[in-house]
Protein backbone atom coordinates (compact mmCIF):
# COMPACT_ATOMS: atom_id res chain seq x y z
CA UNK A 1 0.00 0.00 0.00
CA UNK A 2 0.88 3.69 -0.10
CA UNK A 3 3.67 4.68 2.24
CA UNK A 4 4.61 8.07 3.57
CA UNK A 5 8.00 8.54 5.18
CA UNK A 6 8.79 11.32 7.64
CA UNK A 7 12.20 12.32 8.93
CA UNK A 8 13.53 12.88 11.53
CA UNK A 9 11.44 10.97 14.03
CA UNK A 10 12.71 12.98 16.97
CA UNK A 11 14.48 16.29 17.42
CA UNK A 12 15.77 17.90 20.57
CA UNK A 13 17.36 21.30 20.15
CA UNK A 14 17.97 24.64 21.78
CA UNK A 15 15.61 27.57 21.63
CA UNK A 16 16.22 29.75 18.57
CA UNK A 17 17.20 26.86 16.32
CA UNK A 18 15.42 26.26 13.02
CA UNK A 19 14.33 22.70 12.41
CA UNK A 20 13.47 21.10 9.07
CA UNK A 21 11.14 18.10 8.82
CA UNK A 22 10.81 16.09 5.62
CA UNK A 23 7.78 14.24 4.36
CA UNK A 24 8.11 11.88 1.40
CA UNK A 25 5.61 9.83 -0.48
CA UNK A 26 7.51 6.66 -1.32
CA UNK A 27 5.42 4.93 -3.95
CA UNK A 28 3.06 7.52 -5.32
CA UNK A 29 3.06 11.11 -6.45
CA UNK A 30 1.36 13.56 -4.12
CA UNK A 31 0.36 16.94 -5.48
CA UNK A 32 -0.96 17.77 -2.05
CA UNK A 33 0.45 16.98 1.37
CA UNK A 34 -0.81 18.06 4.75
CA UNK A 35 0.94 19.07 7.94
CA UNK A 36 -0.66 18.52 11.34
CA UNK A 37 0.39 19.29 14.89
CA UNK A 38 -0.59 17.30 17.95
CA UNK A 39 0.01 18.51 21.50
CA UNK A 40 0.15 15.89 24.29
CA UNK A 41 -3.18 14.19 24.93
CA UNK A 42 -4.87 16.26 22.27
CA UNK A 43 -6.14 15.68 18.78
CA UNK A 44 -4.43 16.41 15.48
CA UNK A 45 -4.88 19.94 14.19
CA UNK A 46 -4.34 20.78 10.55
CA UNK A 47 -1.65 23.42 10.19
CA UNK A 48 -1.32 23.82 6.45
CA UNK A 49 -1.85 22.29 3.06
CA UNK A 50 1.27 21.89 0.99
CA UNK A 51 0.76 22.24 -2.75
CA UNK A 52 3.38 21.11 -5.23
CA UNK A 53 4.73 24.03 -7.20
CA UNK A 54 2.75 26.70 -5.39
CA UNK A 55 2.38 28.38 -2.03
CA UNK A 56 1.09 26.49 0.94
CA UNK A 57 -2.32 27.25 2.39
CA UNK A 58 -2.23 27.89 6.11
CA UNK A 59 -5.02 27.38 8.61
CA UNK A 60 -6.21 30.28 10.68
CA UNK A 61 -3.87 31.06 13.53
CA UNK A 62 -0.82 29.36 12.00
CA UNK A 63 2.03 31.76 11.27
CA UNK A 64 3.31 31.21 7.75
CA UNK A 65 6.60 32.95 8.52
CA UNK A 66 7.11 30.68 11.50
CA UNK A 67 6.27 27.43 9.74
CA UNK A 68 7.80 27.49 6.28
CA UNK A 69 6.54 24.87 3.87
CA UNK A 70 8.19 23.90 0.62
CA UNK A 71 6.75 21.35 -1.79
CA UNK A 72 9.34 21.30 -4.52
CA UNK A 73 8.52 17.92 -6.02
CA UNK A 74 5.64 15.49 -6.25
CA UNK A 75 7.20 13.28 -3.58
CA UNK A 76 8.65 15.71 -1.05
CA UNK A 77 7.31 18.40 1.23
CA UNK A 78 9.33 20.04 3.98
CA UNK A 79 8.22 21.92 7.07
CA UNK A 80 10.75 24.27 8.66
CA UNK A 81 10.04 25.55 12.14
CA UNK A 82 12.00 28.78 12.23
CA UNK A 83 13.58 30.11 15.41
CA UNK A 84 11.82 27.45 17.45
CA UNK A 85 10.83 28.14 21.03
CA UNK A 86 9.66 25.81 23.81
CA UNK A 87 6.01 26.47 22.96
CA UNK A 88 6.67 24.96 19.52
CA UNK A 89 7.44 21.62 21.14
CA UNK A 90 4.90 19.21 19.76
CA UNK A 91 4.31 16.15 17.59
CA UNK A 92 4.33 17.13 13.92
CA UNK A 93 2.90 14.69 11.42
CA UNK A 94 2.41 14.85 7.68
CA UNK A 95 0.01 13.04 5.41
CA UNK A 96 -0.55 12.55 1.73
CA UNK A 97 -3.14 11.02 -0.52
CA UNK A 98 -2.42 9.47 -3.89
CA UNK A 99 -5.81 10.47 -5.28
CA UNK A 100 -8.49 12.93 -4.37
CA UNK A 101 -11.07 11.61 -1.96
CA UNK A 102 -8.86 8.69 -0.99
CA UNK A 103 -7.72 8.02 2.57
CA UNK A 104 -4.75 10.01 3.67
CA UNK A 105 -1.68 8.07 4.66
CA UNK A 106 0.38 9.46 7.47
CA UNK A 107 4.06 9.58 8.15
CA UNK A 108 5.29 8.31 11.51
CA UNK A 109 5.54 11.83 12.90
CA UNK A 110 8.31 13.95 14.38
CA UNK A 111 8.53 14.66 18.10
CA UNK A 112 10.05 18.12 18.44
CA UNK A 113 11.38 19.19 21.82
CA UNK A 114 12.76 22.69 22.21
CA UNK A 115 14.83 23.27 25.33
CA UNK B 1 -19.40 24.10 17.20
CA UNK B 2 -17.25 21.03 16.90
CA UNK B 3 -17.35 19.33 13.55
CA UNK B 4 -16.39 15.92 14.93
CA UNK B 5 -17.54 14.81 18.37
CA UNK B 6 -16.26 11.74 20.14
CA UNK B 7 -18.03 11.52 23.48
CA UNK B 8 -15.99 8.68 25.01
CA UNK B 9 -12.62 9.94 26.24
CA UNK B 10 -11.73 6.47 27.49
CA UNK B 11 -13.07 2.92 27.35
CA UNK B 12 -12.14 -0.34 29.04
CA UNK B 13 -13.20 -3.50 27.23
CA UNK B 14 -12.60 -7.17 27.92
CA UNK B 15 -10.58 -9.05 25.34
CA UNK B 16 -12.68 -10.81 22.67
CA UNK B 17 -15.66 -8.55 23.25
CA UNK B 18 -16.99 -6.27 20.54
CA UNK B 19 -16.59 -2.55 21.09
CA UNK B 20 -18.33 0.45 19.58
CA UNK B 21 -16.62 3.82 19.45
CA UNK B 22 -18.98 6.73 18.95
CA UNK B 23 -18.54 9.55 16.45
CA UNK B 24 -20.97 12.24 15.40
CA UNK B 25 -20.24 14.91 12.85
CA UNK B 26 -21.57 18.24 11.72
CA UNK B 27 -21.49 19.46 8.15
CA UNK B 28 -23.73 21.11 5.59
CA UNK B 29 -21.55 19.87 2.76
CA UNK B 30 -23.51 17.17 0.85
CA UNK B 31 -20.28 15.44 -0.15
CA UNK B 32 -17.91 14.35 2.57
CA UNK B 33 -15.80 11.47 3.73
CA UNK B 34 -15.48 9.95 7.18
CA UNK B 35 -12.37 8.18 8.42
CA UNK B 36 -11.22 6.27 11.44
CA UNK B 37 -7.57 6.16 12.45
CA UNK B 38 -5.78 4.25 15.20
CA UNK B 39 -2.87 5.87 17.01
CA UNK B 40 -0.80 3.58 19.25
CA UNK B 41 1.47 5.03 21.91
CA UNK B 42 4.30 5.19 19.37
CA UNK B 43 2.41 7.94 17.59
CA UNK B 44 1.87 6.76 14.03
CA UNK B 45 -1.57 7.18 12.51
CA UNK B 46 -2.94 3.94 11.10
CA UNK B 47 -5.85 4.18 8.66
CA UNK B 48 -8.65 1.77 9.57
CA UNK B 49 -11.75 2.46 7.52
CA UNK B 50 -13.43 5.00 5.25
CA UNK B 51 -17.07 5.87 4.54
CA UNK B 52 -18.16 8.22 1.78
CA UNK B 53 -21.31 10.26 2.24
CA UNK B 54 -22.88 8.76 -0.87
CA UNK B 55 -21.93 5.16 -0.10
CA UNK B 56 -25.04 3.03 0.14
CA UNK B 57 -23.55 0.34 2.31
CA UNK B 58 -21.68 0.52 5.57
CA UNK B 59 -17.95 0.11 5.16
CA UNK B 60 -16.21 -3.00 6.48
CA UNK B 61 -12.51 -3.85 6.73
CA UNK B 62 -11.77 -7.14 8.45
CA UNK B 63 -12.68 -6.78 12.13
CA UNK B 64 -13.62 -3.13 11.62
CA UNK B 65 -17.01 -1.94 10.47
CA UNK B 66 -18.54 1.48 10.34
CA UNK B 67 -22.13 1.98 11.46
CA UNK B 68 -23.04 4.91 9.23
CA UNK B 69 -26.33 6.60 10.08
CA UNK B 70 -26.49 9.59 7.78
CA UNK B 71 -29.71 11.10 9.10
CA UNK B 72 -28.28 11.08 12.61
CA UNK B 73 -24.86 12.22 11.35
CA UNK B 74 -23.14 9.41 13.16
CA UNK B 75 -20.32 7.15 12.06
CA UNK B 76 -19.55 4.75 14.86
CA UNK B 77 -16.65 2.34 14.60
CA UNK B 78 -17.31 -1.26 15.59
CA UNK B 79 -14.41 -3.55 16.40
CA UNK B 80 -15.40 -7.19 16.62
CA UNK B 81 -13.54 -9.71 18.78
CA UNK B 82 -11.22 -7.16 20.36
CA UNK B 83 -7.56 -8.03 20.90
CA UNK B 84 -4.95 -6.73 23.31
CA UNK B 85 -3.21 -5.06 20.37
CA UNK B 86 -6.28 -2.94 19.76
CA UNK B 87 -5.40 -0.81 22.79
CA UNK B 88 -4.70 2.67 21.39
CA UNK B 89 -6.21 6.09 20.71
CA UNK B 90 -8.88 6.07 18.05
CA UNK B 91 -9.71 9.17 16.05
CA UNK B 92 -12.71 9.88 13.89
CA UNK B 93 -12.08 12.40 11.11
CA UNK B 94 -13.96 14.10 8.31
CA UNK B 95 -13.09 15.64 5.01
CA UNK B 96 -15.55 18.01 3.40
CA UNK B 97 -15.41 18.16 -0.36
CA UNK B 98 -17.53 21.02 -1.65
CA UNK B 99 -15.98 23.70 0.51
CA UNK B 100 -12.54 22.60 -0.57
CA UNK B 101 -13.35 23.18 -4.21
CA UNK B 102 -13.56 19.49 -4.95
CA UNK B 103 -9.95 18.67 -4.46
CA UNK B 104 -7.92 17.15 -1.72
CA UNK B 105 -8.49 18.74 1.66
CA UNK B 106 -7.16 18.31 5.16
CA UNK B 107 -8.96 16.28 7.76
CA UNK B 108 -10.82 17.55 10.80
CA UNK B 109 -10.29 15.24 13.75
CA UNK B 110 -12.30 14.49 16.84
CA UNK B 111 -10.66 14.52 20.27
CA UNK B 112 -10.25 10.78 20.23
CA UNK B 113 -11.14 7.80 22.40
CA UNK B 114 -8.52 5.99 24.43
CA UNK B 115 -9.40 2.30 24.17
CA UNK B 116 -7.86 -0.16 26.60
CA UNK B 117 -8.40 -3.87 26.07
CA UNK B 118 -8.12 -5.90 29.24
CA UNK B 119 -7.16 -9.60 29.31
Question: Which pLDDT tens digit goes with each residue over A81-115?
Answer: 999 999 999 999 999 876 655 678 899 999 999 99
User: Given a cut of 60, is residue B5 above it in pLDDT?
Assistant: yes
pLDDT at position B102 is 45
Q: Is A16's pLDDT higher than 80?
A: yes
Min distance B86 CA to chain A CA atoms (Å)? 18
Show residues of chain A in contact with B45, CB under 8 Å: 44, 93, 95, 106, 109
DSSP code at position A95:
E
Half-sphere exposure of B58 (CA within 13 A, CB side): 14
**Cβ distance of A103 and B105 shorter than 8 Å:** no
What is the sign of the dihedral through the CA atoms of A43, A108, B41 and B92?
positive
HEC sequence for B73-99: CEEEEEECCCCHHHCEEEEEEEEECHH
Which residue did the predictor score with more confidence, B104 or B55? Answer: B55
Q: Over the stretch A52-90, which tens digit does the pLDDT of each residue have?
A: 888 899 999 999 999 999 988 889 999 999 999 999 999
CA distances for B1 relative to A21, A61, B18, B27, B91, angstroms = 32, 17, 31, 10, 18
What is the per-residue pLDDT for A8?
97
CB contact under 8 A, A109 and B43: yes
Chain A nearest CA to B16, separation (Å)? 27
Q: Which helix (H) or strand (E) holds B50?
A: strand B46-52
With CA atoms as reference, the chain B residue closest to A58 would be B106
Amino acid sequence: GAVVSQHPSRVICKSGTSVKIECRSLDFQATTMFWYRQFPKQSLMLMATSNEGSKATYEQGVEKDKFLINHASLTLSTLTVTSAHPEDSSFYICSASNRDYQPQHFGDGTRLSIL
Amino acid sequence: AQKITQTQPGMFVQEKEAVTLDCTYDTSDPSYGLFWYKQPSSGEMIFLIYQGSYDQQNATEGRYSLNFQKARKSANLVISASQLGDSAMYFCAMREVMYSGGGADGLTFGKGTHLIIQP
